[in-house]
Amino acid sequence: MYTLKPPAKWPLLAKTISGLEPVLAKELESLGAADVKVLKRAVSFTGDQILLFKANYCCRTALRILKPLFEFPINEQQDLYNNIHNYPWEDLLTPDSSLSIDAVISYTVFTNSQFVAQKSKDAIVDRFRSKFDKRPSVDLENPDMRINVHLFKNLCTVSLDSSGQSLHKRGYRRSTGPAPINEVLAAGLVQLSGWDYTTPMFDPMCGSGTLLIEAAMLAKSIPCGYFRKEFGFMRWKDFDRDLWLQVKAGADDRISPLRLQLFGSDRAERAIVSAKENLAFTGLSDDVHLQTCSFEDSEPPVENGFILCNPPYDERIRIDDTIAFNKLIGDTLKRKFKGYTAWFISSDLESIKFIGLKPSRKIVVFNGPLECRFVKFELY
């Protein structure tokens, strides 16, 4: 049997990228979340409807906010179908709704998450078919309701995904390069770096400008969902639009007109064109100065600045000689950027040593499947 959760204060779960859990926990606490607990690639917390809206709109390091609906033990495969079939889905969906199911499994009687998603979907649509002679359709791209089925050992938790599309899709990316950094990771790196929101920041390999845009949005308190048109909860039957608009207005009121000094450059002209397009869309063009230039030829835009950089390091951008490339980064930092604090992210754990500077901090984060080091150099 499933256990229904109390309505006023729900247990909630925010999913994130491995390595960003403590940052997300802080963000949630600052929004008023209670019972905040760091898990693997997730943070659990409790909160009400208002917090669910705020978490989606303001948590820069959350990928999704899940609202657990019910849970049950699984001893044999049939338990999945039976328990999901027994839930009163007609309270949440109509036969005309569309749905999609994400399944995540570990250490359980099932070995294939696709199969779990399929079985869960069958259980829901069979219930509708027998009650209404009509069934909700499946829409993997843009469903009315996204349902998350999580199986860990012999416990199955079924949740509603209140975010819909992943929250890294901020809605500001008009143009992109070959290897843009995930927006959630970029926001996490800015926060992990301890940037004080006032020291001028320079990204010398800025690509389409994601790090600079996330930094500017943080410094100006622009909510990360500000440019996004839709969240999953907006299509829920009980969606309270007035309450949502109040929450949104409250967060938007805190946007500050602070003038920033952010600098970006890239050796590829097309990257700078992309970055300009994205900045123009976000209204941040006046805060970020861009130029086409290779790092080795660039001059420090200010004294004692702050570098945050995502150089090429994976298969998406080929570098012929990664050792020489990292040596060049190190030489450039030593020759020209005295007085700077510099943070670089790389998954090339061997070549990054050839920067030839001793990192004062190293943080492990993941960029998709790639284990990366986020390293800090103090250039005295």
Which positions lie near ligand SAM, rule CB under 6 A?
Answer: 177, 179-181, 204-205, 207-208, 210-211, 266-268, 271, 294-296, 310-312, 317
Least distance from C-beta 210 to ligand SAM, angstroms? 3
Query: What is the closest distance, in whole angstroms, from the C-beta atom of residue 329 to ligand SAM in the complex?
Result: 8
For 83, other C-beta atoms within 10 Å of its C-beta total 20
How deeply is 257 buried, as exposed, middle or buried, from its count of CB atoms within 10 A (0-12, 13-18, 19+)?
Answer: exposed
Residue whose CB is less far from ligand SAM, 211 or 215:
211
SS3 351: helix
**The two three-digit tokens of residue 220, written as one number:** 């100006």
Nearest distance from residue 352's CB to ligand SAM, in Å?
14
Least separation in angstroms between residue 205's CB and ligand SAM is 3
Nearest CB to ligand SAM, comparing residues 148 and 310: 310
Residues 296/330, Cβ–Cβ less than 8 Å: no
Give residue number: closest CB to ligand SAM.
207
Comparing CB distances to ligand SAM, the nearer of 138 and 317 is 317
Nearest to ligand SAM of 84, 345 (CB atom): 345
Tokens of 97: 């709704």
> From the CB of 55, what's the least distance to ligand SAM, in Å?
24
Query: Measured from the CB of residue 338, what is the shortest distance to ligand SAM in angstroms?
Result: 19
User: What is the CA 277 to chain-centroid distance, rounded?
Assistant: 22
Q: Under a CB-based contact definition with an 8 Å cutoff, are residues 310 and 205 in contact?
A: yes
Crossing angle (nearest 10°) for helices 183-192 and 210-219: 60
CA torsion through residues 137, 235, 213, 351, sign = negative
Smallest distance from ligand SAM to CB 330, Å: 13
Distance of alpha carbon 44 from alpha carbon 67, whole angstroms: 10
The letter for the amino acid at 318 is: R
The residues, any chain, with a CB within 8 Å of residue 75's CB and separated by 6 or more, are 109, 154
Nearer to ligand SAM, 188 or 204 (CB): 204
Considering beta carbons, is residue 179 or 234 the nearer one to ligand SAM? 179
Residue closer to ligand SAM (CB basis): 160 or 185: 185
Cβ at position 227, least distance to ligand SAM in Å: 16
Measure the CA–CA gap between 308 and 190, rounded to whole angstroms. 8
Distance CA 43, CA 29 (A): 11
DSSP string, 111-163: --HHHHHHHHHHHHHHHHHHHHS--PEE-SSS-SEEEEEEEETTEEEEEEESS
Encoded tokens for 223:
């909510």
CB nearer ligand SAM, residue 234 or residue 370: 370
Report the residue number, 79 or 296, with the smaller CB distance to ligand SAM: 296
Q: How far is the CB of 297 from ligand SAM (least distance, A)?
A: 8
Which is nearest to 273 in space by CA: 175, 168, 367, 172?
A: 175
Nearer to ligand SAM, 99 or 271 (CB): 271
Q: For residue 64, count CB atoms less than 10 angstroms from its CB and return exposed for 0-12, middle for 13-18, buried for 19 or more.
A: buried
Least distance (Å) from ligand SAM to the CB of residue 208?
4
CA 65 to chain CA centroid, Å, is: 11
